[in-house]
Amino acid sequence: MADRKAAWVTALAFFIVDQLTKWIVIGPLRLQERFQIELLPIFNLTWTENRGISLGMAQADSDLGRWLLVGGTAIIAGLVGWWITREKQRGDQLALAMVLGGALGNIVDRIRFGYVVDFLDLHFGDFRPFLVFNVADAAISIGVVILLLRALLVRPEAKEERIENV
């Protein structure tokens, strides 16, 4: 378990940063009332209530839908947590931790508010390479990309074969 401590700390750190940034935009910045704050010509804080899953798919417009998304996401988070306990590669552990921390942050939002608070809005004029997102979404996406890249590009070290003379 000690060798996985960094993964658990990473998951907790992403969860805390996600919830802290959401607290800032809801509380002190009151973004929900203001709707949008322009920070840079290519970056705004824009209030969005995401009632669906990734890319706004599977909208949960009812309490049943909301709790099904909470339950489904909780199951996935549990599986990712279990995977962390089984994974031997440190890079994969940390990528999984990013996914776990992000999933937990979005679960908390859905339980508290009935939707996920999204507010990070990167744009180039009218072109938006991403939908409005949050720290949890970024952690999940980056974690998944790292896992995919490691699976495709990192070769496991070949084990030495022992040849015994008979």
Write the pLDDT tens digit of every residue in 11-63. 999 999 999 999 999 999 999 998 999 999 999 999 999 987 765 566 677 78
Q: What is the pTM of this model?
A: 0.85
- Cα end-to-end span (Å), the chain: 41
Give buried/exposed letters for 42-70 (b at 16+ CB in 10 A, else e): eebbbbbebbeeeeeeeebeeeeebeebb
| Distance from C-alpha of 18 to C-alpha of 102, rounded to nearest angstrom | 7
Catalytic residues: 118, 137
Domain boundary assignment for the chain: 2-25+52-129+136-153
